[in-house]
């Protein structure tokens, strides 16, 4: 079956259009989105958005693929260990829609680099950052800039997908990350009435990651080499962690899909409310 590229997008998104309608699909094709963090949550969010019809996506993550990523991160395989996460997922997304504009930035978003991302230029921002400090900074900048965004709270140490939901950060329960984010935002006098995805399932106890695990040691060496090349001291946040929570793909992926759903439904509502 031969498909001309000029017809590809309309055929690819045909089933999406049946649900969302022509006007929403037109809006989707012109919407710019940035995802900060493309691990177990952000990667699945990106996949969902591209398959639904988003064509302009910026991916931000300084990390590389590690063996322990394979259990939950969509771009991670045994064949690409040590490679840039954002470049690997960019490659995958372009295989889905070769005409999409996918910008991969292997960088860390923090107080030093934040100004270089021009957050107001995006229609939506997805926060899927692991680092508490950088996560809080991104949320703060989005709030102060008036950028529409949705944030992921802790998907690790959870097992029950039925406990995953969206709601205001100020009302979350049983999420240690959300608790810390709220506390830090209040210190900065930033509202905690922001929409996030979270699980109200009590987390399982964290495990201590073995320092001599062969796969992790190899990945740590790769990260060290990458850091020397890029000069990015934060590119191997994993090496700074003494305690690491386990994560399951049937949980992290749902977090990502729900974040994508928040954007898609927000666009749908904006189109249909305008008609009233």
Domain locations in the chain as residue ranges? 23-152+212-274
Q: Is the pLDDT of residue 23 over 50?
A: yes
The C-alpha atoms of residue 179 and residue 225 are separated, in whole angstroms, by 35
pLDDT band at 100 (very low <50, low <70, confident <90, very high): very high
DSSP 78: T
Q: How far is CA 199 from the centre of its chain?
A: 16
Sign of CA dihedral 149, 142, 247, 85: positive
Dump pLDDT digits (tens) for 188-204: 999 999 999 999 999 98
pLDDT, one tens digit per residue, over 32-68 is 999 999 999 999 999 999 999 999 999 999 999 999 9
Spatial contact of 196 and 220, defined as CB atoms under 8 Å apart = no
- Domain 23-152+212-274 is of which CATH architecture? 3-Layer(aba) Sandwich (3.40)
Bridge partners of 34, per DSSP, are 58, 125
Rg over CA atoms, the chain: 19
What pLDDT score was predicted for residue 241? 46
- pTM for the model stands at 0.88
Per the DSSP assignment, residues forming a β-bridge with 84 are 64
Question: pLDDT (tens digit, 9 = 90+) per residue, 215-252?
Answer: 443 464 444 434 433 334 333 444 444 567 899 999 99
User: Mean pLDDT over all residues of the chain?
Assistant: 88
């Amino acid at each position: 079956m031969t498909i001309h590229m000029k017809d590809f997008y309309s055929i690819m998104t045909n089933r999406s259009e049946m649900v969302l309608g022509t006007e929403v699909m037109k809006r989707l094709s012109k919407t710019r989105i940035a995802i900060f963090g493309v691990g177990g949550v952000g990667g699945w969010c990106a996949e969902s958005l591209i398959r639904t019809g988003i064509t302009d996506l910026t991916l931000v993550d300084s990390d590389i693929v590690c063996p322990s990523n394979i259990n939950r991160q969509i771009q991670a395989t045994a064949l690409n260990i040590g490679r840039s996460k954002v470049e690997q997922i960019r490659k995958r997304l372009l295989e889905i829609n070769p005409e999409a504009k996918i910008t991969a930035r292997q960088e860390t978003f923090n107080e030093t680099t934040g100004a270089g991302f021009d957050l107001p230029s995006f229609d939506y921002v997805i926060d899927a950052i692991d680092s508490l400090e950088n996560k809080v900074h991104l949320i703060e900048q989005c709030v102060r800039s008036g950028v529409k965004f949705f944030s992921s709270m802790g998907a690790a140490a959870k097992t029950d997908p039925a406990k995953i939901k969206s709601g205001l950060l100020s009302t979350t329960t049983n999420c240690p990350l959300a608790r810390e984010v709220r506390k830090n935002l209040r210190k900065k006098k930033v509202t905690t009435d922001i929409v996030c995805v979270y699980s109200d399932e009590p987390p399982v106890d964290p495990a201590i990651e073995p320092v001599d695990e062969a796969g992790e040691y190899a990945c740590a060496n790769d990260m060290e080499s990458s850091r020397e090349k890029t000069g990015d001291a934060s590119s191997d946040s994993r090496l700074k962690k003494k305690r690491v929570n386990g994560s399951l793909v049937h949980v992290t992926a749902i977090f990502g899909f729900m974040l994508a759903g928040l954007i898609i439904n927000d666009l749908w509502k904006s189109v249909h409310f305008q008609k009233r």
